[in-house]
Chains A and B, each alone.
Chain A
Amino acid sequence: MQATIAQVLLEARDLTVDLPGDEGVSRVLDRVALSVAPGEVVDVTGPSGAGKSTLLRSLARLLPRVDGTLLLDERPADEFSSSEWRSAVALLPQKPAIVTGDVAANLMLPWALKVRHGRPAPDENALRVGLDSLWLSDVSLRRDAARLSVGQQARIALLRVMLTSPRVLLLDEPDAALDAASSAAVAAGVRAFVAGGGAVVRVRHREPDELSARRLRLEAGRLVEESRP
């Protein structure tokens, strides 16, 4: 028996979330447990409305009234301020949020925030390298971000969050609305991120790719390991 013990980077225990809905408050997550190791990509699947986005937001501490325990590097969540936690366990929402301004302004947005005061911001060269790594070589830093295609905007949003060097990336359907080329570029970005020791939890409906180490299914509030085909 192989005695490899994977170090756990992010761990969730007994995550329970109740949310108001059309028919009163309902339990969306019911004592969910999840752990992800450095260099690992975990995919979460499940029917629409099963609570996949809720799970990611709970892991990012972006939901109110969440019960359960969250640990990062074995340190409990309450040892971090909410801003510090969200910087380390970074959620990329499904809908890319592009702010008014050019591509550079969008990529530099995180360094306009108090949580990163005093931390060195990437220079234009680093931004350019980042764009190239996500197959956006033809996109100028001065291009109005609102004029980019959906696939380009999705990659700008992914690059923006990756440039902040989080420990864990939580990706909510990162390639759902993308064409094959954009989707492959996103996969290249994810591959580079985990190669650098990061961990990824992805909500994903597509067929498993070579990045996915495990596939979990969320159904009726419970998270279960999906059998490999």
Chain B
Amino acid sequence: MSGDAGVLAIGWPQLVLAAGFMVVTGLIALAMGLGLTRSLWLATARTYLQILALGLVLRWLFGVDSWWLVVAIIAFMTLMAAMTIVRRAPDAPQGVLAPTFFAVSATGFLVTFAVTGLVVQVDPWYLPRYVIPIAGMVLGNSMNGIALALERTFADMDARESEILALTALGATPWEAARDSVRTALRAGMIPGINTLSAAGIVFIPGMMSGQVLAGTDPLVAAPYQIVVMVMVATADVLGSTLAVMLTYRRRFTHDGVFLEKGLR
């Protein structure tokens, strides 16, 4: 493994050495009887394999000049993200995969290409070295945001079952009955994002900037990238969550506005 000039590349011996950290973690898990030792080994092995494979795929991809391949890879990542979201939101009703996929892809493509096209101004527009990592960050963050927002919205609606019944009995539309749950979920999802934006650079050095600095980039070049990434991630999170929740909350109601509480579904 070789690196660029000025970068202290990590070779195989160092990678093996780094695994020693996980040995310590594994021993702690074993000593405390957490029952997680096997999962830890497995997850660590997966990290090594997956990240190295990612490196190989990205190196290959950066050498291929194909816009459709870039778009196809983002589409595949979007599908994986949508499937993960549905799995992580067990309280969500059936049939949310399609609207979730739409929310993730709209957010992913819109935010990614807005950043690469308008802010970073890459040329050509699909330049994989920029587009794929940015899409990865956008999709990864909006995936977490959407999964939390969906789970919270539907769990809160179930918790407000009697209030929703009373509201619909007063003639409320599904939106009027669900609105408080949607707001609670979106607000809860937005607060960590605001905290991250406020604390960045003081309480912690953000991951991407750390990575760039470690890879030899001038901190004053890395800083603007980090700012763009943080703003982009916050936007993707809010946009994706709002879109996904607005496209799916109605599924908890029948066509004529009856709330499908637990006993009715």
Q: Is B171 close to A, CB under 8 A?
A: yes
- Contact between B166 and A93 (Cβ–Cβ < 8 Å)? yes
Known A-B contacts A90-B169, A90-B170; A114 and B162 likewise in contact (beta carbons under 8 Å):
no
A interface secondary structure, majority: mixed
A6 to chain B, nearest CB (A): 26
- Contact between B264 and A64 (Cβ–Cβ < 8 Å)? yes
- Contact between A157 and B166 (Cβ–Cβ < 8 Å)? yes
Q: Is B117 close to A, CB under 8 A?
A: no
- Contact between A64 and B254 (Cβ–Cβ < 8 Å)? yes
Query: How long is the Cα–Cα vector from A63 to B169 in the complex, in angstroms?
Result: 11
Q: Is A60 close to B, CB under 8 A?
A: yes
Contact of B264 among A19, A97, A116 (CB under 8 A): A19
Q: Is B167 close to A, CB under 8 A?
A: yes
- Contact between B258 and A62 (Cβ–Cβ < 8 Å)? yes
Q: Within residues 117 to 176 of chain A, which ones have a CB less than 8 A from any CB in chain B?
A: 157, 160-161, 164
Inside 8 A of A115's CB, which chain B residues have their CB? 171-173
Q: Is B168 close to A, CB under 8 A?
A: yes
Inside 8 A of A13's CB, which chain B residues have their CB? none
Inside 8 A of B260's CB, which chain A residues have their CB? 64
Chain B window 160-193, contacts with chain A (Cβ cutoff 8 Å), 1 for yes, 0 for no:
0011011111111100100000000000000000
- Contact between A83 and B173 (Cβ–Cβ < 8 Å)? yes
Known A-B contacts A64-B258, A64-B260; A83 and B171 likewise in contact (beta carbons under 8 Å):
yes
Contact of A113 among B162, B170, B263, B265 (CB under 8 A): B170
- Contact between A87 and B264 (Cβ–Cβ < 8 Å)? no
- Among A97, A157, A161, the one with the most B-chain Cβ atoms within 10 Å of its Cβ is A97
Q: Within residues 78 to 118 of chain B, which ones have a CB less than 8 A from any CB in chain A?
A: none
Q: Is B257 close to A, CB under 8 A?
A: yes
Chain A window 59-97, contacts with chain B (Cβ cutoff 8 Å), 1 for yes, 0 for no:
011111000000000000000001110110011110111
Q: Is A109 close to B, CB under 8 A?
A: yes
- Among A84, A91, A116, A160, the one with the most B-chain Cβ atoms within 10 Å of its Cβ is A91
Contact of B169 among A60, A64, A114 (CB under 8 A): A60
Query: How long is the Cα–Cα vector from A47 to B72 in the complex, in angstroms?
Result: 61
Q: Is A99 close to B, CB under 8 A?
A: yes
Number of interface residues of B (CB under 8 A): 20
- Contact between A20 and B173 (Cβ–Cβ < 8 Å)? no
Q: Within residues 209 to 265 of chain B, which ones have a CB less than 8 A from any CB in chain A?
A: 254, 256-258, 260, 263-265
Number of cross-chain contacts by CB at 8 Å:
73
Query: How long is the Cα–Cα vector from A161 to B165 in the complex, in angstroms?
Result: 13
Known A-B contacts A97-B165, A97-B167; A113 and B172 likewise in contact (beta carbons under 8 Å):
yes
- Contact between B170 and A84 (Cβ–Cβ < 8 Å)? no
Inside 8 A of A62's CB, which chain B residues have their CB? 165, 168-169, 258
- Contact between A97 and B163 (Cβ–Cβ < 8 Å)? yes
Inside 8 A of B163's CB, which chain A residues have their CB? 97, 99
Inside 8 A of B172's CB, which chain A residues have their CB? 83, 113, 115
Inside 8 A of B167's CB, which chain A residues have their CB? 97, 109, 113
Query: How long is the Cα–Cα vector from A70 to B28 in the complex, in angstroms?
Result: 67
Nearest residue, chain B, Cβ from A97: B166
Inside 8 A of B171's CB, which chain A residues have their CB? 83-84, 86-87, 110, 113, 115-116, 164
Chain A window 12-28, contacts with chain B (Cβ cutoff 8 Å), 1 for yes, 0 for no:
00000001100000000
Inside 8 A of B263's CB, which chain A residues have their CB? 19-20
Query: How long is the Cα–Cα vector from A99 to B263 in the complex, in angstroms?
Result: 23
Query: How long is the Cα–Cα vector from A100 to B171 in the complex, in angstroms?
Result: 19
Nearest residue, chain A, Cβ from B253: A64
Inside 8 A of A116's CB, which chain B residues have their CB? 171
Pick the 7 closest A-B CB pairs, nearest first.
A97-B166, A115-B171, A82-B256, A91-B169, A87-B171, A83-B171, A97-B163
In the assembled complex, 13 residue pairs joining A and B whose CB atoms fall closer than 8 Å, in A order, are A61-B256, A63-B264, A64-B260, A64-B264, A83-B171, A83-B172, A83-B257, A92-B166, A93-B162, A97-B162, A109-B167, A110-B170, A113-B167
Q: Assuming A84-B171, A91-B169, A99-B163, what are 16 further A-B pairs, CB within 8 angstroms?
A: A19-B263, A63-B258, A63-B264, A82-B257, A82-B258, A86-B168, A87-B170, A93-B162, A93-B165, A96-B166, A97-B165, A97-B166, A97-B167, A109-B167, A112-B176, A113-B173
Q: Which residues of A contact B (CB under 8 A)?
A: 19-20, 60-64, 82-84, 86-87, 90-93, 95-97, 99, 109-110, 112-116, 157, 160-161, 164
